[in-house]
Structure formats: structure tokens, C-alpha cells
Amino acid sequence: MKIPGFAMTLLAVVLVFYLLIVGEALLLPLVIAIAIWYLINTLAAMFGRLRLNKYELPRFLCLILSFLTFALTLWGIGGFLGGRLEEVMQVIPVYQVNLTSRLENLPFLDMAAYQERGLMQMITEWIDLPAYAATIASSFASILASGGLISIYVLFLFLEQGKFDEKISALFGAGGQEGDVRKIIDRVRNDIQKYISIKMFTSSLTGLLSYLFLRAVDVDFAGVWGLVIFLLNFIPTVGSIIATIFPAMIALAQSEGYSLFLLVLAGIGILQIGIGNILEPRLMGSSFNLSPIVILLNLGLWGYIWGIPGMFLCVPFLIILTIILSHFPQTRYISVILSSDGKLRVPADEVIDDFDFKPNMAALLGRDTNPEN
């Protein structure tokens, strides 16, 4: 790549990320709306595969059932959290005091090493449960505040989704690139659907088993922590670590000794390793083949740009980017860098060598492009 071309590409990347940051209030609700629209359509496709005496459900009925299922799920989660959120927020300061006291009295800590700076202050700054709770609450509150805008986006996406095929044909049909574009879209759709389906299953299993375990060992608000663990498992790598340490800290804060803390740490840790490191990779197979380091960097990047919502969206974004880049010879090397072992799912014979997005304006304007006429 020539230096001027590289400089223009770098400038374009910087500009895109700048616009993502300054346009968060507008773009993040749109991305969330696209995710909701995609989830509802995926669920509708699942309903469409159901058969009742060889009777296939019509598309509109599948969409209605999918929308109702999605809405009832959100309503159930919101009602569950709403009924316990006030109690949790009231007890969080008590947990903070107990947790600080437990950590300060650990027998292996050398108190002399912390004489210049109080250990209490260091621990409070490091493990500040009220601050973490306030951060999470503010993130969800901002999403709820944008609920009206998200709903409008979702509505218009459903109104226009019947026209997407026509737009693709109009943009790429005249240049003979329509088949290649549809192939990329199909691969992106299939991979994102597989990732979400597997992640939903493994996160639900982890959350359910964690709830049952926490309930069995009598940890306070086991249902809330089970739901939190379910959500955290959608955040790659870091989410699983937090989902292991967090309930252990809660157990330490509510108990007198350290036995419950060790029990919860071991129990949740075994669940996370068994499901996240053994079951999930077997289900995923070599479908995505993303580098763990790249995933962590991507997590930090999107966490910086869009906070907690960006952490949930970072892997789907990375999957989409890798698939698109691997289809073009000019950018295929970037996909190799993003991969775990350099092996790409898109074979070399599927690389689009002659793709040139220059829409045929005459065709778009409805003019006759045949030179004989």
C-alpha cells in the first residue's frame, strides 16, 4: 500500500472512531435497535421452522409471536429486577463495609507495607461496590432513557426490511456484484446467529446453575446474582472473570468467616471453566477462530467508545469485520492478523478479486444502458 493511501486509510479510521464517540447518543440507540430487530427476526425464523401437522406458520404470525416473546422476556427481567433492585441498593453499602473489614483483616497482609497510605483507603478505591452498582445502573438507565428512540428505529427497520433485497439489487446488480454481496451478507448472518444462539445457551446454563448453587449455599439475592452472571457472560473473557469474582466477594461480605467465600469462588469458578472453557469451545468449534488478544483489545476499545453496551457488542462487531475483510485480497491479511491461528473460514476461491463498488448511475436512474438502443 502506498504511503498516501495508507495515510488516507488511517485518517478514515480515526474519523470513524471519532464520529462513534461524539455521535454515541444517536448511533448507540440505532445499533441497539438493529440488534433487537435482528434478534426478533432470528426468533421469528425459529418459529417458522415449527410444524403443526405439516402446517407452517405464516411469516406475520411468526413475527408477532417473536415480538411477544421478546417483549415478555424483557418485561419479566425488568419486573424481577425492579422488585429487588431497591433492596440490593440498600444492602450494598453494608456489603462494602463488611468486605473492607474482611479484606483488611486477612492474616497474610503485611500492614507495615501500607503505613504511608491507609489500607482501608486503597481497598475502598479498588473494590467500591456502590460505585460499580451506580455505574451499571446509570448505563441501563441511559439505555432506558433512549427507549423511545430505539423503538422508533426498530419500527422503521421492520417497515423497510421488505425493501432491503431491492436496494441490494439496485446498488450491485448492474455491476454484477450482487451475488458476492449476498454471499457476504449470508455468511455474516449465519455466523452472528450461531454466535448468539450458542452464547445464549451457555450463558443461560451458567446463570441457571450459578443461581441454583448460590441458592443452595444460601447467598443473599441468589436470583439477582444469577441474572448478573448470565449477562456478564456475554462480555468475552473479562465478563467470565468478573462473574466468578463478584459473587465470591458478595459471599465474603455477607459471611463472618472465609469458608463461604472460598466455597462460592470454587463453585462458580468450576462452572465458568466447565461451560466457558470446555462446553462453549466445543459448540463453537473453529467457526470464528478469533485471537484472544484481539478480543481483549477489541473489548477495551468498544468499552472506551460506548461503555458497557459496547462490551456486549464487541464480539459481533469483530466477527462482522473479520468476515468482510477476509473476502477481499487487499484486506485479507488483516483477517489473518485478527485470527487465532491464521486460518480463515473464507477459502481463497471465495475471495472477491474484482470487486469495485461503483454503482451504475444510469441503471439507478432507470435509464437504458444498452449502447445499441
User: Domain ranges in the chain?
Assistant: 290-365
Per-residue model confidence (pLDDT) at position 115: 47
Cβ neighbours of 298 (radius 10 Å): 21
Residue 209 has pLDDT above 60, yes or no: yes
∠225-228-231 over CA atoms, to 5°?
A: 155
Length of the chain: 373
C-alpha 285/C-alpha 72 separation (Å) is 32
Question: All 3 cell numbers of residue 324?
Answer: 468482510
Which 3 state secondary structure label does DSSP give 52?
Answer: strand
pLDDT band at 287 (very low <50, low <70, confident <90, very high): low
Question: All 3 cell numbers of residue 367?
Answer: 435509464
Strands 55-56 and 51-52: antiparallel
DSSP secondary structure string for all residues of 110-127: -GGGGSSS-HHHHHHHHS
Cβ atoms of 213 and 271 closer than 8 Å: yes
Cβ atoms of 120 and 97 closer than 8 Å: no
Per-residue model confidence (pLDDT) at position 324: 82
Cβ atoms of 268 and 244 closer than 8 Å: yes
Model confidence, pTM: 0.77
Q: Which of 2-11, 42-51, 111-120 has the lowest mean pLDDT?
A: 111-120
Percent of the chain past pLDDT 70, that is, above it, reads 77
Give the residue-averaged pLDDT of 327-333. Answer: 79
